[in-house]
């Protein structure tokens, strides 16, 4: 194809990392696949890096109702636009980042397609590998804070502060003027305080709740970002003030009716996938807007990115990296360097 006197050739096939079937011990395969065919409003992108997230690992074990197998995994990516219809922005040659649709084929492949309204152009000052660590975790943190409507002077509790979502949430909450409390393993306390957390607690501590109340006072948290779920959600609501707000990233547990009446919480569900599953063009465009906020924060130095480790583009390496996501055995972000 020729655009502005520049010829860009793409192959007819590509490599991809696929899930043949969901199971608890994640076992992926590397296969040869056809290059995706794009609709008029879609971009064909040569993928450079794909960021791994806990949601990738979760669905590798459970599957997803709309998947057909083998299914290409991966939701976060950065790459260069190699094909687009005339008049469709971004332009061929632009480097872009995006969070892909959970229902469609993923981005752990040589090429991927995506609706043009959902991508953001990556500035030259930000390395591609850094941008690949931003979309899912960064946008989840921004959506959670928006749903909670965190205001200057409020106290927010971020459960799981050392995870990528938690690290972004701490920084953006401080930008909003909140007092930030978080949980983490002791070896991550220094990191979270450097990011802006006012107080960090060891979630293994048997006197955890007692220490929080001593630090916070009797009023309870105004807002909570709950990245863990399960019984932690019940405990976190107990730590909130009456009519406090909680943003939940995991499925809700069963609540006791008495607690709901006594605490009167506002419970919000955070779902990036919903923008695609609901076929909401506005929500997809909003993902692009949030990506721009992330890129601007990183470019200015106001937002620090979690520590990145690179994963080889092999079935074994990606399988092991996703298994590590389930085990919670690392802090930071794992990013796959895609090779042809």
Q: What integer pLDDT is reported at residue 8 of this predicted model?
A: 67
- Arithmetic mean of pLDDT, 168-184: 97
CB-CB contact of 315 with 17 (8 Å)? yes
Task: Decide if pLDDT at 218 tops 70.
Answer: yes
Percentage of the chain beyond pLDDT 70 is 97
DSSP state of 32: E
User: Burial code of 134-167, b = ≥16 C-beta within 10 A, e = fewer?
Assistant: bbbbbbbbbbbbebbebeeebbbbbbbbbbbbbb
In the CATH scheme, what is the homologous superfamily, with its name and number, of domain 2-133+281-337? Answer: Medium-chain alcohol dehydrogenases, catalytic domain (3.90.180.10)
Least confident of 160-169, 193-202, 324-333: 324-333
Say yes or no: do domains 2-133+281-337 and 137-269 share a fold.
no
- Arithmetic mean of pLDDT, 154-183: 97
Domain regions of the chain by residue span: 2-133+281-337, 137-269
Q: How far is the CA of 236 from the CAs of 104, 222, 326, in angstroms?
A: 34, 11, 22
Task: Decide if pLDDT at 7 tops 60.
Answer: no
Tens of pLDDT, residues 254-297: 999 999 999 999 999 999 999 999 999 999 999 999 999 999 99
Torsion of CA 88, 94, 97, 101, to 10 degrees: 30
Tens of pLDDT, residues 89-144: 999 999 999 999 999 999 999 999 999 999 999 999 999 999 999 999 999 999 99
Q: What is the CATH number of domain 137-269?
A: 3.40.50.720
What is d(CA 148, CA 143) in angstroms, rounded to the nearest whole number? 9
Tens of pLDDT, residues 44-76: 999 999 999 999 999 999 999 999 999 999 999
Average pLDDT value over all residues in the chain? 94
Q: What integer pLDDT is reported at residue 216 of this predicted model?
A: 86
DSSP state of 118: G
**Strand, coil or helix: 314:** coil
- For the record, the structure tokens of 292 come out as 């721009």
**Strand, coil or helix: 188:** helix
Task: Decide if pLDDT at 200 tops 50.
Answer: yes
When pLDDT is cut at 50, 70 and 90, the band that residue 203 belongs to is confident
Q: What integer pLDDT is reported at residue 5 of this predicted model?
A: 35
**What's the whole-model pTM score?**
0.94
């Amino acid at each position: 194809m020729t655009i502005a006197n520049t010829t860009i050739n793409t192959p007819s096939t590509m490599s991809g990392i696929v899930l043949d079937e969901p199971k608890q011990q994640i076992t992926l395969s590397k296969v040869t696949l056809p290059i995706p065919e794009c609709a008029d409003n879609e971009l064909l992108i040569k993928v450079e890096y794909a960021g791994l997230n806990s949601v990738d690992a979760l669905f590798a074990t459970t599957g997803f109702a709309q998947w057909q197998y083998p299914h290409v995994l991966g939701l976060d990516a950065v790459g260069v636009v190699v094909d687009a219809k005339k008049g469709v922005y971004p332009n061929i040659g632009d480097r872009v980042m995006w969070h892909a649709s959970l229902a469609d084929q993923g981005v752990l492949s040589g090429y991927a397609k995506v609706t043009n309204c959902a991508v953001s152009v990556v500035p030259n000052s930000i390395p591609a590998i850094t941008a690949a660590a931003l979309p899912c975790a960064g946008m989840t943190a921004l959506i959670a804070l928006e749903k909670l409507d965190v205001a200057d002077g409020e106290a927010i509790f971020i459960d799981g502060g050392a995870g990528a979502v938690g690290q972004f949430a701490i920084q953006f909450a401080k930008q909003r003027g909140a007092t930030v409390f978080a949980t983490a393993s002791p070896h991550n306390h220094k990191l979270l305080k450097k990011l802006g957390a006012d107080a960090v607690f060891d979630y293994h501590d048997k006197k955890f709740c007692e220490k929080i109340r001593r630090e916070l006072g009797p009023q309870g948290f105004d807002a909570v970002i709950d990245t863990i779920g399960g019984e932690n959600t019940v405990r976190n609501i107990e730590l909130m003030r009456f009519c406090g707000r909680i943003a939940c990233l995991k499925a809700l547990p069963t609540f006791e009716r008495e607690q709901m009446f006594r605490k009167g919480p506002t419970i919000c569900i955070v779902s990036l996938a919903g923008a695609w599953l609901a076929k909401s063009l506005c929500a997809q465009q909003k993902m692009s807007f949030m990506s721009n906020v992330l890129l601007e924060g990183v470019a200015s130095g106001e937002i620090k990115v979690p520590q990145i480790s690179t994963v080889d583009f092999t079935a074994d390496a990606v399988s092991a990296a996703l298994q590590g996501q389930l085990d919670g055995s690392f802090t930071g972000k794992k990013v796959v360097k895609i090779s042809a």
